[in-house]
Amino acid sequence: MDIARIIKPWQRQPHKAFVFTNATIIDPVEGALIPNATVRVADGKITSIDTSETATEGIPEEDTIDLSGKYLCPGLIDCHVHVAVVPGEADLRAYKDMTEKVSLLRQPHVLKTMIERGFTSIRDCGGASLAVKEAVEDGVIPGPRLFIAGFALSQTGGHGDMRGPHSEELCCGGTISGISRIVDGPAECYKYAREELRQGADFIKIMGGGGVASPTDRIDHIQFSDEEIKAIVTVANNAGTYVTSHSYTPQAIQQAINLGVRGIEHGNLIDLETAKLMAEKGTFLTPTLIAHVMSKQMNFLPAESAAKNDEVLEKGLRAMKMAVDVGVTVCFGTDLLGPMHFAQSKEFTVRSKVLTPIQILRSATINAARLIMQEDRLGQIKEGFTADMLILNANPLEDITVLDRAEQSIMGVIKDGRVLKSRWEKLTAEA
């Protein structure tokens, strides 16, 4: 009797070993192709990469998968998602009434479709719970590997406070509002940053400036005092992790990074001086442009938010290009809410208007891996790395938008050495 399997009957079968032959590996570090590679995968890891002519000697052909004409690309990493804001409603207002239970039951759908689009890791910037992260790790539900913030920390009346201006309902320290927690003053900042870490947060997300979807703040507001941000940064750093801040304007970004914040989310209104400061300090930038494009197309936001949205969308593309040009490490993010998750890969197409394919691919692989502190195991097809790989039938270094056409281009999605999605008869997905 296999007691472990009786206790956790969803436990996956042991890893299969794979030998991929004639693979063309996409190397995001060099921005180059490595042709004719034999790639061995065992126990969820890439165990060897051999480009010599004798690489396949002695391996029975039936034990190999011939990747002639195909590309092996590192699994994609989306650094800004909200899996808890699930599809099912047409606009943001309706989400006020969505309960955690309803959301939780729908999250497996969100995760499964992310895998189908080629995302093998995601960083959730507010809302996803440790329970969901563990359910994926355990094999209860298929999905990308999660790195979670727990609830984002917001001040009263800040980007995370979903009460409208006529609400007189007071909320006390640590109250949860949507994907955020409301905290005011250094004492609450210490306490609830520690609470998030206790409840499994991999990093801390703060609402460090005004936002688009929030009802009572303005984009150009600074949020949190220096003392409050310092408290949160101290808690994160003491626990060996980092803080990332939702910030659009140069003032909000400068405040955050001068206080030790490691990542900036969105950053649409960045100016040259701030971009240079970010490059100098090694701050990561995660733009999320598709969220603005889709919010507009789908009328997702109420009128007061829609006007804010137009402003930031316009400037976002230019800001991202400027940041890349001065040497900021730019990561891939989407920030799609509710019914918009389907558009996740359209971020590739949006970015292709101003960036080169390799710049964009790096943002979703090696740059993202560094931001989430996983650069020693994720983001590359390299010996010893986790076997997160996509089998593509088109070269994203020539045209990055092939990643936006998963049905045609992504033949297989392998995470942890397991085939989670196949669109190719030579590759069988695990049930």
Contact residues for Zn ion, defined by CB under 5 A: 125, 335
Q: Which is nearer to Zn ion, 41 or 331 (CB)?
A: 331
Instruction: Give min distance, CB of 84 to Zn ion, in A.
Output: 11
Task: Output 333 or 357, the one with its CB closest to Zn ion.
Answer: 333
Q: Which residue is nearest to Zn ion (CB)?
A: 335
- Which pairs count as long-range contacts for 361-364, CB under 8 Å and 24+ apart, including other chains? 361/26, 361/28, 361/31, 361/73, 361/396, 361/397, 361/400, 362/28, 362/31, 363/330, 363/331, 363/332, 364/76, 364/77, 364/78, 364/331, 364/332, 364/403
Q: How far is the CB of 247 from Zn ion (least distance, A)?
A: 12
Contact 108, 149 (CB under 8 A): no
| Cβ-contact 182, 154 below 8 angstroms | yes
Output 26 or 86, the one with its CB closest to Zn ion: 86
Write down the least CB distance from residue 125 to Zn ion, Å: 5
Least distance (Å) between residue 404 CB and Zn ion: 21
Q: In terms of CB distance, is 24 or 344 closer to Zn ion?
A: 344
Minimum distance from CB of 288 to Zn ion (Å)? 7
Q: Which is nearer to Zn ion, 217 or 388 (CB)?
A: 217
How far apart are alpha carbons 368 and 79 in whole angstroms? 6
Residue closer to Zn ion (CB basis): 38 or 223: 223
* Residue number with CB closer to Zn ion (211 or 417): 211
SS3 357: helix
Task: Report CA Rg, the chain.
Answer: 22
Long-range contacts of 25-28 (CB under 8 A, 24+ apart): 25/49, 25/71, 25/72, 25/381, 26/71, 26/72, 26/73, 26/74, 26/361, 26/381, 26/392, 26/395, 26/396, 26/397, 27/380, 27/381, 28/74, 28/358, 28/361, 28/362, 28/365, 28/366, 28/379, 28/380
Cβ 265 to Zn ion shortest distance, Å? 6
Task: Compute the least distance from the CB of residue 292 to Zn ion, in Å.
Answer: 12
Strands 243-247 and 263-266: parallel
Question: Six-digit token pair at 408?
Answer: 């045609």
Helix 100-116 and helix 130-138, axial crossing angle in degrees, nearest 10:
40
Min. distance of Cβ 44 from Zn ion in angstroms? 30
Write out the H or E segment, with its range, that includes residue 100: helix 100-116
Give the residue with the Cβ less far from Zn ion, 92 or 125. 125
Closest CA to 354 of 324, 330, 310: 324
In this structure, the chain runs to a length of 431
The CB-of-335 to Zn ion minimum distance in angstroms stands at 4
CA atoms within 13 A on the CB side of 117: 24
Exposure of 59 in the CB half-sphere (CA atoms within 13 A)? 19
Give the residue with the Cβ less far from Zn ion, 41 or 207.
Answer: 207
Cβ neighbour number for residue 58 with a 10 Å cutoff: 5
Nearer to Zn ion, 259 or 290 (CB): 290
Least spacing, CB of residue 128 vs Zn ion, in Å? 12
